[in-house]
Structure 1
Amino acid sequence: MNRIVVLAEKPSVGRDLARVLNCSKKGNGYLEGDKYIVTWALGHLVTLADPEVYDQKYKEWKIETLPMLPSQLKLVVIKQSGKQFNIVKKLMNQKDVGQIVIATDAGREGELVARWIIEKANVNKPIKRLWISSVTDKAIKDGFINLKNGKEYDNLYASAAARAEADWLVGINATRALTCKYNAQLSCGRVQTPTLVMIAKREEEIKNFKPRTFYGITAAANNIKLVWQERQTKDIRTFDKDLCDKVLMNINNEKTAEVIDVSKVHKKRSAPQLYDLTELQRDANKIYEFSAKETSSIMQRLYENHKVLTYPRTDSRYIPTDIVDTLKDRIKACGYGPYAATASKVLTKPIRPNKSFVDNSKVSDHHAIIPTEQPVSLSNLSDGERKIFDLVVKRFLAALYPPFEYQQTTIKAEIGRELFIARGRTVINPGWKEVYENNFEDEDAKEELSEQILPDINKKDFLKISDIIQTKGETRPPAPFDEGSLLSAMENPVKYMAGENKDLIKTIGETGGLGTVATRADIIEKLFNSFLIEKKGKHIFITSKGRQLLELVPDDLKSPALTAQWEQKL
C-alpha cells in the first residue's frame, strides 16, 4: 500500500511528471517507477450522461417529455476514451496503491476532470493535490515537496460539478424545448445566450444612434495650437452653434493672446498591470487580430510544451510575495535576444516589489501570467507563439522598471474675453516605456486635448495670432464588438443589466462576469460554430438565426442575472 498513482490531464504533462519522478518503465497508458505510477486522462474521460441513459423515451426529441429533471445526474465514461479510463481505474484500484495525487490542471476544470474519474472508478483512497503554476522540472519538484491535502479542494470540485450539472439541466432542456417547439435547431445556455444579447444590443445602439454636430474654436499663435475652453463647464466643444458663432465673432479681429497662467505639474505613471488571460486575449486581438481561442491555444503550448510561461487560465494580474525571490531567475531566463538590454538594466539594481504588481490579497488560485525560470530558444517558437511570448515578457519587464515620469505644462491664454488652453509634455524619465521603445499607447492618447511640443512661455507673454478657425465634428456611435471588446463586456456585463437587482449587479462584478477566463474563448467559438454570430472584417455581428433564437428564448436566459444568482448560491 505504499505506491502512489499520479493522474495528469494529458499524456504530454504525464511524461514530464514521470521524468521528474524517475518513472521510466513504460506501460500501456502509464509510466511507472518504484514509488510512483504516472497515468493520464485525455482531457475528460468521464462526462454527464445523455438524457436517454435515464429513460429511452428521451431518445426522441419531443416536447411532451420535457422538462428532464433526473433526481441525480449520472456519470458515464466517454466511449472514445474508454480504454484509457479502464487503465486509470485499474491502476487506482491496485492493492499496492495507497494514495492518489491529482496532477490535472490546477483550476476548476482540471479538478472536475480528476474527481469525475475518481468517482466513476469508485476509488476511496487518500487524495493529495499537486497545485503548480508552471510545469518546469523545478516547479514539479517543488510541487511534490509541497503537496496539498485533497480535501482543501472539495469546494472547488463542488462548485465545478454544480455549474456543470446546472448547465446540463438548463442547456439540454432549453435547447430541446426551442428546437421541438419551433422546428429549428436552436442552442442556448446561461452564458452564451446573454453574450448573444449583448451583441444584439450593441447593434441596436448603433442602428438607433443619431449623430450630433459639435463645434469648437482653435487659434494658431507662435506655432502653438490654442483651443477654446468654456469657462463654466471646462468643455472644449459645444453642441450650441449659436454660442460658438458668437464667441468667434467676438474674437475674430483680435491680434494677440495674453498668457494668463502657465502651470507645470510633475507626473508619474506606473507600468501597465501584468497580464491575466482575458487582458492578454484582448491585446492579442487588438494588436495581432488573434481570436480569443487562438490566444488560449498558443498560451497553452507556451505553458505546457515550451514551459516558458506560467499557468494561462488565471484571472489575477498580481504575483504573491513568495514569487518575488524567483524574479531574478525569471529575468535571466527571458533576458536574451531582443530583451537583453532591458533585462540587464533591471538586474543591475535590487528588485523592489511594490503593490502595483505584488499583492497576496489579489491572488486566488493562480498569479498573473509571467515567464518561468526556463530559458527558451526563440527559434523554436512559431510566429504566433513568438508574438504572445513577446507581449508577456515585455509586460513582465515593464512592471519591474521605474515609473514613466514627465512634466505636464498647461498654458491658459485669453483672446479678448475668451479662455484658450494648450497642453504639452516634457519627458523626465522614460522608465518602463523603454521596454516598449517608447511606443506604447496609454490612456492619454484618448484625451480630447492632445499634447504638443511647447516653446518656453511665461505668464503675461503676448502671443501673435496667425489664424482663428471654427472646428466641427460629429459624435460617433459605439463600434461594433470585436473579440477584444466582447471579452471586456463578458467580464463586466453590468451595462447590460439595467433594471436588475443591485445585489445581483454587485455579485456579477465581484465574481468576474459571464463565464470564466477559462471558458470565454470557448463560448465565443461556440456562438460562431452554431452560426448565431458571424465576423465581417474584425467585427462581430448577430446572424438571422441568432435573432430568431433571441425572439424565442425565455427572458431569464437572456440576462447575466441568472449567472449572478447561481454565483450567490455557490
Structure 2
Amino acid sequence: MQLVLAEKPSVGAELARVLKADQKHAGYFEGNGYIVTWSLGHLLTLKMPEQYHKEWAEWTFNTLPMIPETLEITPLKETRKQLAVVKSLAKRQDIKVGIIATDAGREGELVARYIFDYLKFNQPLKRLWISSQTDAAIKDGFAHLRPATDFENLHQAALARAEADWLVGLNVSRALTVKYHDSLSAGRVQTPTLAFVAAQEAKINQFKPQTYYQLSVKTPLGNASLDRQFSDQHQAQVEADTLSKQQLTVTAVKAKHETVQPPLPFDLNELQQVANQQYGFSPKQTLNTLQRLYEREKLVTYPRTDSRYLTTDLKATMGARLAAMGRFSKTAAQLAKRGTAPDYVYNDAKVGDHYGLIPTEEMVDPSRLEPDELKIYRLIAMRFIDLFKPAYRADVLTYTLKAGDQTLTVKTTSVIEPGFKDVEKSTAEALPVGAKLSGKFIVKSHQTNPPARLNEATLLGKMDHFGLGTPATRADIIDKLQSAGSMEKRGRELLVTTKGHALLKLVNPDLVTPDLTARWEAQLQAIEKGQTTRKAFMGDIKDATKRLVLEVKQSTVKYDDPNLTMKKCPECGSRLREKATKMGVKLICSNPECHYSRFRDPKLSNHRCANCHKKMVILTGNNGDYFKCQNCGNTEQMSAAKGKKGRVNKRETQRLMKQYSKQAEPEEESPLALALKAAMKHQD
C-alpha cells in the first residue's frame, strides 16, 4: 500500500479519482493499492518562543535575541484533527512507501517534509513532480515517481527560508514592539517592499513641474518635431515663424527592417502585472484565480512559475493543446493542424522547477468559467496562440530634415507582415535624399509630469528586479503590508500610510534596502543547486539577527504612534490606540500590561428594542457589553436579552458557512506568517 500526501482536500480527491482509490473515509481515500490523504496547507509550524523557554514568553529586551540551538516544529491547533488522520495512516503496517504529492515547489516541499519528519516516517519516500493537474499528467507523474532524495536540496532551502524568517522576523518585530510600545512588524522582504513605495512618493513630493515648448510641422511623411526644446514661448514662436518661410530638405534616410517575434509565455510575475494593468486585479486575486484554473478546471499549467520558456519534451503536445482550445478560439483550432511554435521558446537550460504558463490538453468550455477565470485564461491562451503566428515584420525609414540650421526627424513604417500583432498591412510614402517639403511650423506647450505612483503591477516589477520574494510569495507580501496598515491602495495607486512612514524610520537600514534580502535569496537558490549549505547560511542569519536586534536597542529614533488617540482607558488611564479589524475599528489600551479593548463605533445588532422595535446597537460599559436603542434610548443587558439575540439571521448563516468552508481548505501560509500572527495577537 502506498500513502499519497496531497496539499489540499480538492487535490487529494482528484488524485484519488485518477488512481481509482474510490473508498471514501474521513480525511482520506483508499483503494487500488493507494491511500490518498492531504494536509490543509501547513499542519505544522515552527514553535513559538515560549515553547522553547518560559522566560521567552515575556516581551522584554532581556530575552532578545531569541536564538534556539535548533528550531523545532509543532502542530497547529486548527488542523490537529487532520494531522491525527495522517498520523494514523502513516503508522499502518501495510504502508510500504510514502509519496509526496504536495505542490511542486519550495513551500510545497516544506509542507510535506514537516509532516513526514514530525511523524518519523521510516518508509521510503518518493516525489510526484508535475506541472499540470490533467488526468494524463497525473498518470504520467505516478508512472515516473522520483526518489525524495532528489529534492533534498530544495528541502534544505525551504527549511533555511522558514528558519531565517523566524529568527529575523520575530526578533526584530519583537524588539520594535518592546521599544516603541506598538505592534510593529518588520521583515527582510516586506520592509524593502514598503520602502519602494515610500521612495516613489518622495520623488513625487520633490518634483517641480516645468513648462517647455516644442516646434512641429506637418509633412507628407507625418508630423516632424524639432529636436530642440524652448523654455521661452516668445522665442519659440519667433523661431517657428522663421522656419515656416523656409523649405524643408531631406538630408538623410536611414532604412531598418524590423522583426518582432511573438512574446514568450507568461511567468506568474508578468501575468500578475498584466492582469493588474488590464483588469485592476490584485496580485493575490490573480494567483487565487489562476490556482482554480490549475486545480479545479485543469486548464493551465503550474501557476507559481518563474520561467517563461518551455522544455523541449513539450513540442509533441502543442497540437493537442491548441485543439483543446477549439471552443475558445477558432484560430487555435486552425493552428492545431499546421502550427508550430518557434524554436526559441524551447530552452531546457532556462526552465527551473516549472516551465512557462500555457494551456493544458484539457478541453475548455468558456461558458463554465467564472468571469475572473475567463479573463485570466484569455490572457494565457491568447499569449499561447500568438506563439504559432508569424513574426511581425516592417520596414522603418527614419528621415532627417533640415530647415535653415535646425534639424528635424520623422519616421515612417511599412507593415510587410502583420504576424501576431494583427494590424493592417501598410505602405508608407518614400522620399529620396534632396527632396523638398514645405509646411507651417506650430508651437506646442508641454509640461513635465511627476513620476507615477507605484501600483501593484509596477511594484511587482521592482520586487522581481531586486529579487524580493518569489513568484509564490509576492502577492502575500503586498497583501500583508496593506492588512498591517503600513500601505494602502487608492484606486490603483499604492501609498504608504503614516504608520508605514514611521516604521521605515525605526527599522534597521539593512532591512529597508533590498540588498540584504537579494543576497539571502541568492544564497537560498544556491542551497537548491547544492552550491552551499543550510548550515553556512543559518550561521550568517544568526549573526545578522544579533546585530539587527542590537541596532534597535541602541536606536535613538523617536516614534510618534499615529494611531494613538486622546481617549483614556477606563481601567488604567493609559491612552487608547485605534486598530482596524474586519469587524470595525477597535480601541485598544496602549499599556502592554492592560488588556482593555472595545469597538470605537457602535455595532448594529439584530436584537430589537422592546419599546420601539428598532434594531439596537452594542456598546461596552464598565460591566461589559450591553444593548442600546439609538431611537428611544432604551438599554438592555446582554444577559437579559432573550429570543432573537440567540438567533442567527440568513446573512449571518451565509457568512458562517463561507467562513467554515474556507477553513476546510485554508490559504497556504508560511511558518513565519503564522508565528507573527500569533505574536501580534499576543500584543493586542
Instruction: Give the TM-score normalised by the residue count of structure 1.
Output: 0.88
Check conservation: 1:189, 1:557, Cα contact below 8 A. yes
Aligned to 2:434: 460
Aligned to 2:486: 532
Aligned to 2:317: 326
Check conservation: 2:176, 2:184, Cα contact below 8 A. yes
- Number of matched pairs: 523
Q: Deviations over 1:41-76 (max 9, x none)?
A: 111111111111112222332232211111111101
Q: Distance in 2 between matches of 1:393 and 1:88?
A: 38
Aligned to 1:48: 46
Aligned to 2:553: none
Decide which of 447, 456, 460 is 1:474's aligned counterpart.
Answer: 447
Q: Distance in 1 between matches of 2:58 and 2:382?
A: 55
Check conservation: 1:261, 1:413, Cα contact below 8 A. yes
Q: Check if 1:92 corresponds to 2:66.
A: no
| Letter matched to residue 431 of structure 2 | I
Shift of 1:568: 4.5
Q: Structure 1 pair 294/221, CA: closer, same or farther in 2 (3 Å)?
A: same
Q: Distance in 2 between matches of 1:248 and 1:184?
A: 63
Shift of 1:88: 0.7
Q: Distance in 2 between matches of 1:239 and 1:111?
A: 61
Q: Deviations over 1:18-59 (max 9, x none)?
A: 111110111221111131111111111111111111122223
Decide which of 462, 472, 475 is 1:489's aligned counterpart.
Answer: 462
Q: Deviations over 1:474-511 (max 9, x none)?
A: 33222111000000011113xxxxxxxxxxxxxxxxxx
Q: Distance in 2 between matches of 1:62 and 1:335?
A: 64
1:250-399 aligned within 5 A: 250-254=242-246, 256-337=247-328, 339-340=329-330, 342-355=331-344, 357-399=345-387
Q: Distance in 1 between matches of 2:41 and 2:62?
A: 35
Unaligned runs of 5+ in 1: 230-235, 440-451, 494-512
Q: Distance in 1 between matches of 2:326 and 2:32?
A: 39
Q: Structure 1 pair 548/19, CA: closer, same or farther in 2 (3 Å)?
A: same
The two structures, once aligned, show a CA RMSD in angstroms of 2.0
Partner of 1:193: helix, strand, or coil? Answer: helix
Check conservation: 1:247, 1:418, Cα contact below 8 A. no
Check conservation: 1:274, 1:369, Cα contact below 8 A. yes
Partner of 2:401: helix, strand, or coil? Answer: strand
Instruction: Give the TM-score normalised by the residue count of structure 2.
Output: 0.74
Shift of 1:263: 4.0
Q: Distance in 1 between matches of 2:229 and 2:309?
A: 40
Decide which of 182, 203, 206 is 2:204's aligned counterpart.
Answer: 206
Q: Distance in 2 between matches of 1:272 and 1:177?
A: 47
Q: Structure 1 pair 410/17, CA: closer, same or farther in 2 (3 Å)?
A: same
Aligned to 1:39: 37
Check conservation: 1:221, 1:257, Cα contact below 8 A. no
Q: Distance in 1 between matches of 2:312 and 2:266?
A: 17
Instruction: Point out the structure with max Rg over C-alpha.
Output: 2
Aligned to 1:13: 11
Shift of 1:422: 1.6
Q: Structure 1 pair 413/405, CA: closer, same or farther in 2 (3 Å)?
A: same
Decide which of 526, 550, 559 is 2:504's aligned counterpart.
Answer: 550
| Letter matched to residue 457 of structure 1 | L
| Letter matched to residue 536 of structure 1 | R
Q: Distance in 2 between matches of 1:352 and 1:305?
A: 28
Aligned to 1:215: 213
Aligned to 1:74: 72
| Letter matched to residue 43 of structure 1 | G
Unaligned runs of 5+ in 2: 525-684
Shift of 1:564: 2.8
Q: Distance in 2 between matches of 1:425 and 1:274?
A: 27
Q: Distance in 2 between matches of 1:351 and 1:222?
A: 41
Partner of 1:334: helix, strand, or coil? Answer: coil
Q: Distance in 2 between matches of 1:262 and 1:41?
A: 67
Shift of 1:240: 8.6
Q: Deviations over 1:257-312 (max 9, x none)?
A: 22333444321111122100000000000000000000000000000000000000
Decide which of 396, 400, 412 is 1:408's aligned counterpart.
Answer: 396
Q: Check if 1:431 corresponds to 2:429.
A: no
Q: Structure 1 pair 34/455, CA: closer, same or farther in 2 (3 Å)?
A: closer
| Letter matched to residue 245 of structure 2 | N
Shift of 1:313: 0.1
Q: Deviations over 1:513-567 (max 9, x none)?
A: 0000000000000000000001111100000111111111111211222223323
Identify which range, 115-124 or 553-562, moves more after superposition: 553-562
Decide which of 463, 477, 480 is 1:523's aligned counterpart.
Answer: 477
Check conservation: 1:324, 1:353, Cα contact below 8 A. no
Shift of 1:185: 1.1
Q: Distance in 2 between matches of 1:315 and 1:354?
A: 20
